[in-house]
A and B are shown apart, each in its own frame.
Chain A
Amino acid sequence: MAHAYTPGLRVTAAATVRRERRLPLKGEVLVASGEAVDAHTVVARTELPGNVQTVNLAARLSVDPARAEAALTRPVGSPIAKGEVIAAAKSLFGLATHRIESPVEGTIESVSKVSGQLILREPPVPVEISAYVRGTVAEVLPGEGVVVESRGALLQGIFGVGGETWGEIAIAAASPDEPLAAASLSADHRGRVVVGGAYVSHATLMRARELGVAAVVVGGFDDRDLRQLLGRDLGVAITGSEELGLTLILTEGFGHIRMADRSWRLLNEQRGRLASVSGATQIRAGVMRPEILIPADDARPEAGAEAHGGGLEVGSLLRVIREPYFGRIGRVVELPSELRELDTEARVRVLVVEFIAGGERAVVPRANVELIAG
């Protein structure tokens, strides 16, 4: 292993991003290649086949399954309204008539001769997808959707909950190590993407939701509060479909953690600008991290200054991402090639770091650091 594993979340003022906007099923694309789109522009539309309802005609009418179809009041393929009589049969030597009403509005799809089961299909469900981010249509995927390209600032978080949203960036903490306080929130934050510092409590988050804040971006959050927010313990890190009334993005992790200076600076520079935000996180093969995209007004070419990933060298700035030095920032002063024994007695590849605050040195496994840009 030549380099340490560094998750390398992207934090850059000038990136070109392409976001695929794809329908769940084939449908109609509403925009053309090269067209300018806003975050809320509907780019494609389709109809999902309606839900299916079953009615056991044979059992309910007490007829032989082979004769169930004959009991229908209208032929297979006909539309039917909710509550309308769908099938009828005489019983008790023709003295009584059993009638079955349709439980839903839909179409009569089929009747089985073996089980006597009727299948009703409800009307299709329309589905629309938006562009999500302001930009241009870079590619049309015929019948399926589009690829929207946008240039501007990009900040990936480490974890998020809540779906896609957008709003202007507002800064509501004085520094990256200050927690977001409920008192700092006001009616002005309605529909905004509010940036706090190191931490947000559940109570403050609830206040933000009350005020109609679109998204909250902070360094850290307690898992105990996440449980309260979701109403359950989050087992597997696949998020983005929660309906929480706002989106939450953590830039650093769980606990009180100072937001990285670069992220803090970038978000401050973008204050007042429109950002597209997604909390969707998936930590599996094919990792997906939450993001804040802030399209630029002018189509500046992508700057080459972006720092993410890359190799670990003496002098690299890093953050430790596990106890006992969790969250501390320092520079690499030594990269020993031989394996070293840890407190646990495991023998692993390590580095020696000198912490910025305090200046002391420590040995840390290479697996437990991530590179950050200065």
Chain B
Amino acid sequence: MDRAPESIRSILATDCGSTTTKAILIERRPEGYRLVVRGEAPTTVEAPFEDVTRGVLNAVREVEELAGRRILDGERIITPQNSADGVDLYLSTSSAGGGLQMTVSGLVLQMTGESAQRAALGAGAIVMDVIALNDGRRPYEKIRRLRQLRPDMILLSGGTDGGDVRRVAEMAEVLRAADPKARLGAGYELPVIYAGNREAAAIVRDLIGGRTALLVVPNLRPTLERENLKPARDAIHELFMEHVMAHAPGYRKLMAWSPVPIMPTPGAVGIIIEKVAKRDRLAVVGVDIGGATTDVFSVFQGVFNRTVSANLGMSYSVSNVMAEAGIANILRWVPFAVEEVDLRNRIKNKMIRPTTIPQALEDLVIEQAIAREALRLAFEQHKALAVGLKGVQTERTISDIVSQAESGASRVDLGELGLLVGSGGVLSHAPRRVQAALMMVDAFLPEGITQLAVDSIFMAPQLGVLSSVHEAAATEVFERDCLIRLGAVVAPVGPGRAGQACVAIEIEPEAGGPSRHRAAFGELALLPLPDSGTVRLKVSPERGFDVGAGRGRPIEARIHGGVVGLLIDTRGRRPFALPDDPAARIARLRAWNRALSVYPREV
């Protein structure tokens, strides 16, 4: 992009999703960059249109109508801004057509296989399969699988630099024998990225160079102790533009409209989460729960990770949440008796008619129970992958390295987690904000002090790609117009018995004197916070309980206010358990719901 960021007066950004194309208009105002309006239109990648730009133009036309100003000249976005017409910058993200689908391979599933998976996920891909020499499948099974999958791209890794080349050659031979085809169009070569042992690069080139669009980049695991994912990720973005997007209907035209490369949607969300974490020096978890998939992003110890749970979601995938979580895990969050046959049929009816919405309060409660399990499972998957060495040099003993799969020390430390951001219909559009807060707390079980927020209209993708060219504008809009601060949760860790003294809280607003509160073990309580600004919080746990500074040690923090308030969760952590007896469980859930006014009436 040629233009200096400071000179940009207006920005138009679109996100082409599988079903909807969303456009936002951002303008520079005296107080900084602000979201002006948002428009949307159905995505037009599939027949009968088969041209993504139709949907983009329709969404932009809605923006024009809502903003009352001209952005298009016929079918052209006017850039730069010319008096009141047009915009200075146009950019876009895309997950249309199922997003970026990849197959990755490594030699050892838990080592290079896992590193390759992290590289692909971090770039915004859906990983269809991880193929490794030790994945338990026989070579012919691997070959058959590679032939069945029709990925957009393959990432081939394996071996440390200077290591044995024979095993790498074996994997490349498997790939050559499979002769996999690309998903979009049989008429072009499948892009393959090789990011393994550099000594084997020539062999890999000989084996598959002539049959695929091969790109060789530096090893993503140059040594056992070091992971270097950036070159592979950059190559994924490059090939996504050059090969995948260029073959998707209408994208060639769309690419010409923007001076900034089109980015895969989840890749862009990751960028904004990473930037916010860096700016506020916080460990952040972001979750986006959609109809078909749930994405989890995290930044812990400055390290970014992203996972996508491709079949956990609230409409298309709702039945899979039941299949994976089990009916008992969903029912444990429901504060009334439900017949299993009835619950199963309800969930399947939602799956076959995914656009329906809960009308009865009981139905909303069940949907929010399912959401808790979808979020919990997605977070479990995230914790399992966000492990080990990433991008930084870590001193580890050889025994750590050997036991990597077992130890799998997750980077996700719930005690360190400073901000939890939720997004997606069931969280962003929950009728009461406290419902969103409680769903996230129940699913993620944060420990100590954690701030909570929701993304109001899911514009994180557009802000992510914007942040790559104009960070200030992206973070200003993110903070002012995208993020709705809910407040925070205080959750002491440690076992206790109901009624036992657990924690004392002191809240000191920017103006006015402090207020003090006490909570016994086994409760949920809500204390008011100002909607905006910050407060100073002092949390003093009783002996045996830990809020981040050690058992019985007090902690102080400055936190943002929020529309829900400060949730005091003394229901216990490690373990957190609900009563097994159904009557006792229902009574407990009802008491907590009453305490927080979660629902308008008792269900």
Interface residues, chain A, with chain B CB atoms under 8 Å away:
5, 7, 51-54, 65, 109-110, 112, 114-117, 119, 158-159, 222-224, 226-227, 232-237, 253-255, 281, 283-286, 321-326, 342-346, 348, 364-365, 367-368, 370
Contacts and interface: CB of A to CB of B under 8 A. Distances in A.
Nearest to A114: B169
Interface in B356-390: 356-364
Contacts of A158: 352-353
Given A52-B178, A365-B357, A368-B359, A283 B316 contact: yes
Contacts of A325: 359
Given A5-B355, A222-B341, A343-B359, A255 B349 contact: yes
Contacts of B361: 343-344
B144 interface: yes
Given A52-B140, A235-B320, A346-B429, A224 B349 contact: no
A162 B417 CA distance: 47
Nearest to B429: A346
Interface residues of B, number: 54
The 6 closest A-B pairs by CB, nearest first: A235-B320, A233-B323, A223-B344, A345-B431, A114-B169, A54-B139
Q: Kindly name the residue among A7, A117, A119, A343 whose own CB sees the greatest number of chain B CB atoms within 10 A.
A: A343
B363 A323 contact: yes
Given A65-B166, A222-B341, A254-B345, A51 B143 contact: yes
A235 B317 contact: yes
A116 B170 CA distance: 9
23 contacts: A52-B143, A52-B178, A54-B177, A223-B348, A232-B323, A233-B319, A235-B324, A236-B316, A254-B348, A283-B351, A283-B352, A284-B316, A285-B18, A322-B350, A323-B346, A323-B363, A343-B360, A343-B361, A344-B359, A344-B360, A345-B600, A346-B357, A365-B356
B359 A52 contact: no
A348 B350 CA distance: 18
Contacts of A286: 46
Given A234-B323, A235-B324, A344-B364, A112 B169 contact: yes
B600 A283 contact: no
Contacts of A368: 356-357, 359
A85 B165 CA distance: 29
A86 to B, nearest CB: 16
Contact of A323 (B144, B169, B360, B600): B360
Nearest to A345: B431
Interface string B258-297: 0000000000000000000000000000000000100000
A322 B359 contact: yes
A323 B354 CA distance: 14
Interface in B16-58: 18-19, 46
A17 B257 CA distance: 39
A222 to B, nearest CB: 6
A115 B173 contact: yes
A233 B322 contact: yes
Given A116-B166, A117-B170, A344-B364, 5 more contacts: A115-B166, A223-B347, A284-B316, A322-B359, A342-B358
Nearest to A281: B352
Contacts of B174: 54
B203 interface: yes
A236 B317 contact: yes
Nearest to B46: A286
Nearest to B315: A283
A224 B322 contact: no
B323 A365 contact: no
A283 B341 CA distance: 22
B587 to A, nearest CB: 23
Interface in B138-184: 139-140, 143-144, 165-167, 169-170, 173-174, 177-178
B340 interface: yes
A112 B173 contact: yes
Contacts of B600: 345
Contacts of A232: 323
Contacts of A54: 139-140, 143, 173-174, 177
B322 A115 contact: no
Contact of B352 (A65, A224, A253, A367): A253
Contacts of A51: 140, 143-144
A184 to B, nearest CB: 23
Nearest to A58: B166
Contact of B353 (A322, A324, A344): A322
B376 to A, nearest CB: 16
Nearest to A121: B177
A341 B215 CA distance: 56
A324 B354 CA distance: 17
A170 B144 CA distance: 41
Contacts of B98: 285
B432 interface: yes
A318 B172 CA distance: 58
A51 B148 CA distance: 12
Nearest to A341: B431
A115 B172 CA distance: 10
A237 B291 CA distance: 13
Given A54-B174, A226-B348, A284-B316, A345 B140 contact: no
B301 interface: no
B110 interface: no
Interface in B304-348: 311, 316-317, 319-320, 322-324, 340-341, 344-348
A237 B319 contact: yes
A332 B517 CA distance: 53
Contacts of B360: 323-324, 343-344
Contact of A115 (B46, B170, B323, B355): B170
A158 B352 CA distance: 7
A96 B214 CA distance: 44
Contact of A114 (B203, B345, B348): B203
Contact of B345 (A112, A223, A345, A346): A223
Nearest to A54: B139
B229 to A, nearest CB: 27
Nearest to A4: B355
B173 A117 contact: yes
A196 to B, nearest CB: 17
Contacts of B324: 235
Contacts of B362: 323
A237 B351 contact: yes
Contacts of B363: 322-324, 344
A348 B18 contact: no
A54 to B, nearest CB: 4
Contacts of B346: 254, 323
Interface string B415-434: 00000000000000101100
Contacts of B429: 346
Nearest to B177: A52
Contacts of A227: 344
A227 B311 CA distance: 18
Given A233-B323, A368-B356, A322 B140 contact: no
Contacts of A233: 319, 322-323
B19 A236 contact: no
Nearest to A111: B173
Given A255-B345, A322-B363, A344 B431 contact: yes
Contact of A224 (B344, B356, B357): B344
